[in-house]
A and B are shown apart, each in its own frame.
Chain A
Amino acid sequence: MRWGVVQFPGSCDERDALHACELAGGEARLVWHESRDLDGIDAIVVPGGFSYGDYLRAGSIARFSPAMEAVAEFAAAGGPVLGICNGFQVLCETDLLPGALLVNESLRFVCRQVELQVAGETLSIPAKHGEGRYWAPEAMLDELESNGQVAFRYAPGHNPNGSLRDIAGVRNEAGNVLGLMPHPEHAVDAMTGSTDGLRVFEFVAGALA
């Protein structure tokens, strides 16, 4: 299996993402933002960081990069795409995922371990963001809920940013694009505590099986 991790000027979590992809199985390479080359790639990761300095709005400029144009085509053809933190913001700005990420309710950058609920399991994953408050109009939220598109929810008491309905991550209707604010790529090695993050990468890899 081959993973492609997009890298923008200002990305900072792409290296940990590469490592997590490889631990989950297969080879991983970086895709520079100016490149449209996704040759041989089975799954895409749009990583965390501060692409383009978060200028204008976080993720707003990345959507116009050649790499994201190629990722949009890849996603339209059903290819799996995982967006983490800034990657989630980019996917929402690109309209590959519904909703938007706003500044944290506390106005503080949060950096702490949070518990996420996903498909009946609880994962312990670090959150590290200043603009992670998930927002969508009420009607859209109701639709997401009824379609089963809320993929990750903060466990009670663990919502670090005021996200509506404690939403930590969503998937698109087709189910091939997934985004979350917390960082599974920072929870893959016992040295840093939880290895629950690996489950997220394994899930994406498994989706191709």
Chain B
Amino acid sequence: MPKARVLIRPKEGILDPQGKAVERALPALGFEGVEHVRVGRMVELEAEDPAQLPALCEKLLANPLIEDFEIEEINAASSAPTNP
């Protein structure tokens, strides 16, 4: 079945305190020069009919008032995890 990955991001211009908290923690861990951290959500799924995905995202996975979403269709060749 076709796989997809949906990335849900807080809209630009909305205060993201989680992103800020992560950003502020990084120098204490020795990572300098990291900015504009925004924390979102990722949903992976398999859908018989990928044409449904935009509606599914608009209706449930994201709140279009405060979030943007991006749908990535994952084909078999690129779905292997890349972590070492």
Contacts and interface: CB of A to CB of B under 8 A. Distances in A.
B65 A100 contact: yes
B17 A57 contact: no
A122 interface: no
Contacts of A57: 63
A162 B15 contact: yes
Nearest to A64: B60
A70 interface: no
A135 B17 contact: no
A135 B60 contact: no
A10 B60 CA distance: 19
Interface stretch (A35-43, A77-85, A102-110, A200-208): A102-110
A198 to B, nearest CB: 33
Interface residues of B, number: 11
Given A56-B60, A60-B60, A107-B21, A102 B65 contact: no
A102 B14 contact: yes
A104 B15 CA distance: 10
A93 B17 CA distance: 21
A149 B66 CA distance: 20
Interface of B: 14-15, 17-18, 21, 41, 60-61, 63, 65-66
28 contacts: A56-B41, A56-B60, A56-B61, A60-B60, A60-B63, A64-B60, A99-B65, A100-B63, A100-B65, A100-B66, A102-B14, A102-B15, A103-B17, A103-B18, A104-B17, A105-B15, A105-B17, A106-B17, A107-B17, A107-B18, A107-B21, A133-B15, A135-B14, A135-B66, A136-B65, A137-B65, A162-B15, A162-B17
